[in-house]
Amino acid sequence: MERNLETICIQGGWQPKKGEPRILPIYQSTTFKYDTSDEMGRLFDLEDTGYFYTRLQNPTNDAVAAKIAELEGGVGAMLTSSGQAANFYAIFNICSAGDHVVSSAPIYGGTFNLFAVTMKKLGIDFTFIDPDASVEEISSAFRPNTKALFAETISNPSLVVLDIEKFADIAHSHGVPLIIDNTFATPINCRPFEWGADIVTHSTTKYMDGHAMSVGGCIVDSGNFDWNKNAEKFPGLTEPDDSYHGIIYTEKFGKLAYITKATVQLMRDLGSIQSPQNAFLLNVGLETLHLRMPRHCENAQKVAEYLASNDKVAWVNYCGLKDNKYYDLAQKYLPNGSCGVISFGLKGGREESIEFMDNLKLAAIVTHVADARTSVLHPASHTHRQLTEEQLIEAGVQPDLIRFSVGIENADDIIADIEQALNR
Ligand SMILES: *Cc1c(COP(=O)(O)O)cnc(C)c1O
């Protein structure tokens, strides 16, 4: 039975049987016991399912992954130790040296570095495109060895709202999956699979955890992409895996091929598993996600309107403002609200922006975003510090851009704090 998101936030994942704990237990165990050597051997051959070592799977993690999969409407999910690991695994699961990926240019700075620098060293090439470009222009970035199209629902920090259907059509016309980082919208505000995306990733560190307690990530598989249709493009899924006596993931696991491979092959070999402790904390966060997201959006709308009406402010970027470039796309894909993150610049430019931030009292300067507490960051000096001026502009980050993450405090107090800092 399909349940509503609010119910899934609370009841999804852990399903206690008679006499079991009502609350998701933390399985603080690296290993799991079996009666015979043969039973254990069958697990290593993927002939049976079961837990044997937490680097591959852990019941606490799996319960939380199942909740996120249900929230996104996917067939399966895997938790990772961070959002960075999630995006790395999501791509690396279907790419190897010599392959190519097309990615939206305005994305999180850490992801941009991962793609443009570190994965390039592994021999995987990325072409970064303007997500607002025409279908023809974006299509021209594809090559015969292109294996995926990547973008963020709402980009961090430039707040570009993605035309997901357009992207899904482009990806599918080239026989590759669309991978969407849905961190800022969360499944409460957007479910990319409903618009044709194939794989969704998250930095659960942000709204999902929501309390700045634990770094984590997640990959969700829609189960919809037909890997066999262009089997030669995805040999890792459609040809025998020697490390498992030649099993073929698409044959053996069907709709779960992609997420199973990520778990039993990549996680086995690379090991960026989320700790069960952190998964437990993430689950507590998820239980209130449906309450927090609307409040983040409501508060952010008020703050954005205040900033837009203040004459010290040069520009405000929030897709809930009617004159925003992405207002119409947001109405389509994010009808209940986008997220709590706003960006803006002050008339004094970069220096004035930095001084304003130093004068804030309630809003804290932290390397964080999408958290219950209002926080603020200057990407050009912080998260995107390693990028050149040219890369900054390409990533949609103006040098004076202030990333303001509106929390779930009282909106009047947040606005009063901004006002006193602007007037100093
Ligand atoms: C923060 C963030 C990441 C990276 O996640 P970590 O959990 O910090 O590793 C990836 N994508 C987006 C959109 C983010 O905001």
pLDDT, position 359: 95
Q: What is the pLDDT of residues 257-297, one digit of tens each?
A: 999 999 999 999 999 999 999 999 999 999 999 999 999 99
* pLDDT beyond 80 at 334: yes
Report, as an integer, the average pLDDT of 88-94.
Answer: 98
Ligand 1 centre to CA of 108 (Å) is: 7
CA angle 360/343/292 to nearest 5° reads 80
- The Cβ of residue 293 has, within 10 Å, a number of other Cβ atoms equal to 26
Report, as an integer, the average pLDDT of 339-348.
Answer: 94
pLDDT, position 1: 62
Higher pLDDT, 351 or 115: 115
Structure tokens of 166? Answer: 């357009």
* pLDDT beyond 70 at 133: yes
Asked if residue 406 lies in contact with residue 296, where contact means CB atoms within 8 angstroms, the answer is: yes
Q: What is the largest CA-CA distance in the chain?
A: 74
Mean residue pLDDT of the chain comes to 95
Ligand 1 centre to CA of 335 (Å) is: 24
Q: What is the pLDDT of residues 31-88, one digit of tens each?
A: 999 999 998 888 888 888 889 999 999 999 999 999 999 999 999 999 999 999 999 9
> Alpha-carbon torsion 97, 272, 158, 398, what sign?
negative
pLDDT, position 393: 79
Higher pLDDT, 366 or 6: 6
Distance (Å, whole) CA 375 – CA 81: 23
* pLDDT beyond 80 at 395: no
Which residues, including other chains, have CB under 8 Å from residue 14's CB and lie 6 or more apart? 23, 24, 63, 67, 283
Ligand 1 centre to CA of 47 (Å) is: 35
Taking Cα atoms as reference points, which of 220, 169, 145, 233 lies closest to residue 190? 220
Query: How far is Cα of residue 103 from the mean position of the Cα atoms in its chain?
Result: 14
Place of tokens 């019941």: 59
* Tally of helices (H runs) and strands (E runs) in the chain: 19, 12
Query: What's this model's pTM, rounded to 2 decimal places?
Result: 0.96
Domain limits, the chain? 14-284, 291-423
Choose which residue among 108, 115, 189, 218 to substitute to test ligand 1 binding: the one with the highest number of ligand atoms within 8 A of its C-beta. 108
Q: Span 291-423: which CATH code?
A: 3.90.1150.10
Which residues, including other chains, have CB under 8 Å from residue 200's CB and lie 6 or more apart? 72, 74, 179, 180, 181, 182, 192, 193, 219, 220, 222
- Domain range 14-284, CATH architecture: 3-Layer(aba) Sandwich (3.40)
Q: What is the pLDDT of residues 1-40, one digit of tens each?
A: 679 999 999 999 999 999 999 999 999 999 999 999 998 8
